[in-house]
Structure 1
Amino acid sequence: MTQYNRWYHPYDIDEKYNKRVAYFSMEYGIDQAFKIYSGGLGFLAGSHMRSAHDLRQNMIGIGMLWKYGYYDQVRHDDQSMRAQFQKKFYTFLEETDITVSVAVNGHEVKVKALVLKPEVFGTVPMYFLSTDIPENDYLAQTITHRLYDPEMSTRIAQSIVLGIGGGKVVEALGGAEVYHMNEAHALPLSFWLLDKYRSVEKVREHMVFTTHTPEKAGNEEHDTNFLDRMSFFNGTPLEEVRKLTHMDGHLFNHTLAALRLSKVANGVSQLHGEVARQMWNENHGICEIKAITNAQHANYWTDDDLWDALQSGNDNVLVVRKKEMKHLLFKIVSDQTGKLFNPEVLTIVWARRFAAYKRPDLLVRDFERFLTIINNKERPVQVIWAGKPYPFDEGAVNTFNKLVDLSEKQPNMAVLSGYEMELSRKLKQGSDVWLNTPRRPREASGTSGMTASMNGSINFSIQDGWLPEYARHGENSFILPIVDTNLPEHLQDSEDHKNLMHILEHEIAPAYYHDRGKWLGIMKQSMFDVLPFFGSDRMAHEYYEKLYSY
């Protein structure tokens, strides 16, 4: 084997982080050039890999090499959204001589590992798995074509490749002491570990788990017999699977199995930790669920000039740099939409994955009132939307297209396509306000607001995810009052909309236009308060402290 095929790091391991950890994630947001992510889960994993490198941790990453990525978000001729699946080439990945075999639906599938060396993007060594090699038939090759493939058997095969194939790659590298599953996508790993250790107690000693969402779609369930036919359980007899996971029914819950086969788990904010414990604690045999709040890699996301101005106390430079960044964002707006936004005007951005519970259209619930507010001659407002729906979620795609239609004749409304890491950075740097409107408490973390704060964009949000740990209304953020979650959803939406519009009209716009000193104070406080706690160095340290050394 070459040096790239052994467990290696280009730095001396810090003794605090000496335990060998293999981190498994279906997606990673590492750099704009590497399109293997869909949203927040990937952004979080990418920041973790960068901070693990910066802290000199003894960790490697295991992921999937998606030939067509998630998808490229482009447009039809009428401006509506189109999902384009375009072949990707990554010349910065290097060959290894590691090829392993997994069983999928009883058939052997070869899995090749390619390495992303630390010096490329400043991550720990990472190994990406591909079945798109000549040794496999065409069907097997397609397993690693699309992230979150809509075909169910392909999705299960992807989990098998990540979990069992990834486990075998780690073994070829010399093995790990801790196997960390970022979401339950890699769950077949636990059954590979069972075969390796021959003891469920030993599996639990070595496996930890991060759960990311209270959403049903993020906590997969499948027919147990179907999973068995797909070779999901790595040859473990079905009766033993039922006994080990305490699931006797016909449905197999991946998250619940992960909680029963890990030594410890965590939610991704303090609030989400509470929500996760409420969700799962009635189930016997689960591990402890702690809370480690997500965070983002400050060096990657922050604008150096803006941060230098903040640290030196030079308010004039801070204001000038923020305006420059608005100009840069508005060039993208004009390029995509033909609209010329004004950097003097209050600019609100809603940008994240389009999903029903995130309510991307809450702001336009009463469109006439919305137009009255944004077209106020004394206090105008510009609004930008961006985000990728799951390409086969018709409801989310329709919401995106509805906003495109509504914005068509409005010079101060824009909907941007191609929401990936570079556009995300530009939106955070160029916005005055970062709007977040999930139905509470369904947003586990919502880390985009952290990187917005790092760039002088003030959070305007539902009190969900990480915000309760950070936000102080009128001091570093604008926060909506908590609405009774026992109300029917349409009444929750109505109440949140009423509060949203009131705060925008009577607090945010007046402060921006008529009390610049107050506005600048909130903006600066938001930047001061976000770091270092919501930087991923703290998070990466806590994982060693609270999960890996547990």
Structure 2
Amino acid sequence: MSAQDFSTSVAYFSMEFGIDQALKTYSGGLGYLAGSHMRSANALNQNLIGVGILWKYGYYDQTRKADNSHEVMFREHMYSFLEDTTVRFQIEIDKKQVWVAVYLLPSQVFNTAPIYFLTTDTDGNDAWARSISYHLYDKEATIKVAQCMLLGIGGAKFLEINNKEPEVYHFNEAHAVSAAFYLYKKNKNLEELRKKIVFTTHTPEEAGNEKHELNFLLNLGFFGELTLPEVISVGLVEGNVFNHSLAALHVAKKANAVSKLHGEVSRKMWSKYSKICQITHITNAQNKAYWVDHALEAARLNKDSVTINSRKKALKTILFKEVADQVGKLFDPEVLTIVWARRFAGYKRPDLITRDIERFNRILNNSKYPLQIIWAGKPYPFDQGAIDTFNALHNLSYLHPNMAILTGYELALSKKLKDGADIWLNNPVVTREASGTSGMTAAMNGALNLSTFDGWICEFANESNSFISPITKSQNDLARDQADMKNILDKLEFEILPMYYEQKEKWNKKVLQSMNDIVPFFDSNRMAEEYYQKMYN
């Protein structure tokens, strides 16, 4: 595309941005995706800026208690590389005037589009108002909605008063939908409003979309100065329930899901609503320039499997130093290494392959085909079920010197894990993973995907580049999980391990095929271009 194709001005609103290890403004996949989008927007010289929130304590720092169980630590973060714009203005939240300060991440710092970060942790605010921008996804409902208002209303007002109003407002998830009500009050013309807004949905289940009682939001000032009939009409409100995603689908000119399968699921999920916008799909991608190991990439271009193998062993050695430092275990770079690393959530089933514990133990103790396995990821800090799963895996790892559970899954550790993995394990419940992206960057770095057939994998995987678990038809959750577990362990025990140790040429061919197939479609430059083609222009 020519530079002219990127001339439409866009403001990209996101609750999180995964830009650099030094900037704690993300929790997981949504942030990683936004970070890649910002890098590609900069590389392509697109007329796009980011709008986010400067989280004082980030998501949280993941550490360990004295007994090595999961520990949540909230630590204040300060950033000398952000520029104070000196812009200060007020928005009304819960009948209080709340001051907002704005900081800029300039493009040259991390090679991204410019990103403006809003914070209420500034002079003039009381303790409650300051706390709005303390914790990403705060557990307290009023604060969490206030955060959405800060992003949406605060972001829109900032752009307005600083003469930065874009032609397109892009809501990455529905967190910023309050901006639509702020914008609507100007001329109260819904059709004109729709010309300005696009919406990306990442949630593949209707029940997973955030909802609140209408009166609760009205009392907080979520809809600004609009009357109740206007709120109901613009927000497509049903009864006393405001559905954030449904409202976003109503005020946007177009929406997109984040994979082909997710597009099909989303259109079916929202099909009963006749007044919503068209839902297309733009498959997620990650920024290759940021994530790829350049020695591996050079070897890929030269079709040099010998160098790929030697470089992978060197990268595994780097990862295994992290393993040794964290858990006191010495892993061997010659041994097949599996990694499961992403946000700990129930539908992602982090412990799935351990549920047949006898078989799991047998595979890990097989001296003919040695195996090492690493888990990493952050549970939501107040999701006790996910924390219990993390701790149970750690407790199990005491029995196996070749099993490790790592903490601190952020950008830096994620890079080490993608570099060092031979197999990237991904086993969500099918149709529950809108896209997923971690396996993309793993594949860029010579790891093979072992996955259920969900999300982006459906557009990538085949027998020549991945190991795919057959789709389970059972509607019973327990039977489904057992079938998926058995299929994955069968793949591991009877196909992957023998191939790695006894059919090296076949293994090398599969790795090279995977590395070739992942580019260029799953590089975020394609994704950023597609947003202009399908959504902005």
What TM bracket, shorter-length normalisation? over 0.9
> Does residue 1:320 correspond to 2:345, yes or no?
no
1:218 deviates by 4.5
Supply the distance in 2 between the matched residues of 1:374 and 1:464 (Cα, whole angstroms).
27
Query: Please, which moves more after superposition, 326-335 or 166-175?
Result: 166-175
Where does structure 1 lack aligned partners over 5 or more consecutive residues? 1-12
1:195 deviates by 1.5
2:300 alignment counterpart? 310
Q: What is the identity, as a one-letter code, of the residue corresponding to 2:518?
A: V
1:129 alignment counterpart? 118
> Does residue 1:156 correspond to 2:118, yes or no?
no
1:522 alignment counterpart? 510
1:542 alignment counterpart? 530
Aligned residue for 1:325, secondary structure, equals helix
- 8 Å CA contact 2:42, 2:112 repeated in 1: yes
Supply the distance in 2 between the matched residues of 1:206 and 1:100 (Cα, whole angstroms).
23
1:97 deviates by 2.5
Matched ranges for 1:176-325 at <5 A:
176-215=166-205, 218-325=208-315
Q: How many residue pairs were aligned?
A: 535
Q: What is the identity, as a one-letter code, of the residue corresponding to 1:75?
A: R
1:197 deviates by 3.5
> Does residue 1:492 correspond to 2:480, yes or no?
yes
Aligned residue for 2:430, secondary structure, equals coil
1:314 deviates by 2.5
Query: Please, which moves more after superposition, 375-384 or 165-174?
Result: 165-174
1:59 alignment counterpart? 48
Aligned residue for 1:197, secondary structure, equals coil
- 8 Å CA contact 2:363, 2:493 repeated in 1: yes
> Does residue 1:481 correspond to 2:470, yes or no?
yes
- 8 Å CA contact 2:205, 2:269 repeated in 1: no
Aligned residue for 2:50, secondary structure, equals strand
1:135 deviates by 1.3
Supply the distance in 1 between the matched residues of 2:472 and 2:270 (Cα, whole angstroms).
24
1:13-45 CA-partner distances (Å, limit 9, x unpaired)? 921100000000000001111011000000000
Supply the distance in 1 between the matched residues of 2:421 and 2:304 (Cα, whole angstroms).
20
1:459-517 CA-partner distances (Å, limit 9, x unpaired)? 000010000100002x1000000111x51111100110111111111100010000000
Where does structure 2 lack aligned partners over 5 or more consecutive residues? none
Supply the distance in 2 between the matched residues of 1:335 and 1:173 (Cα, whole angstroms).
50
Query: Please, which moves more after superposition, 217-226 or 87-96?
Result: 217-226
Matched ranges for 1:370-389 at <5 A:
370-389=360-379
* Segments of 4+ moved more than 3 angstroms: 215-218
1:340-381 CA-partner distances (Å, limit 9, x unpaired)? 011111100000000000000001011111111121111011
Correspondence for 1:143 among 132, 156, 171? 132
Q: What is the identity, as a one-letter code, of the residue corresponding to 2:478?
A: H
1:33 alignment counterpart? 22
1:402 deviates by 0.4
Supply the distance in 2 between the matched residues of 1:145 and 1:318 (Cα, whole angstroms).
43
Q: What is the identity, as a one-letter code, of the residue corresponding to 2:118?
A: L
Aligned residue for 2:321, secondary structure, equals helix
- 8 Å CA contact 2:394, 2:404 repeated in 1: yes
Supply the distance in 2 between the matched residues of 1:389 and 1:420 (Cα, whole angstroms).
12
1:284 deviates by 2.2
Identity %: 53
Supply the distance in 2 between the matched residues of 1:20 and 1:311 (Cα, whole angstroms).
36
Q: What is the identity, as a one-letter code, of the residue corresponding to 1:506?
A: F
1:466 alignment counterpart? 456
1:6 alignment counterpart? none
1:235 deviates by 1.6
2:62 alignment counterpart? 73
Aligned residue for 1:513, secondary structure, equals helix
Supply the distance in 2 between the matched residues of 1:218 and 1:34 (Cα, whole angstroms).
28
- 8 Å CA contact 2:397, 2:403 repeated in 1: yes
> Does residue 1:532 correspond to 2:520, yes or no?
yes
Query: Please, which moves more after superposition, 306-315 or 50-59?
Result: 306-315
> Does residue 1:93 correspond to 2:82, yes or no?
yes
1:114 deviates by 0.4
1:248 deviates by 3.4
1:10 alignment counterpart? none
Aligned residue for 1:434, secondary structure, equals strand
- 8 Å CA contact 2:206, 2:269 repeated in 1: no
> Does residue 1:513 correspond to 2:491, yes or no?
no
TM-score (norm 2): 0.98
1:20 alignment counterpart? 9
TM-score (norm 1): 0.96
1:247-278 CA-partner distances (Å, limit 9, x unpaired)? 23111110011001100000000000111111
Supply the distance in 1 between the matched residues of 2:536 and 2:264 (Cα, whole angstroms).
21
Supply the distance in 2 between the matched residues of 1:174 and 1:502 (Cα, whole angstroms).
56
2:102 alignment counterpart? 113
1:9 alignment counterpart? none
2:434 alignment counterpart? 444
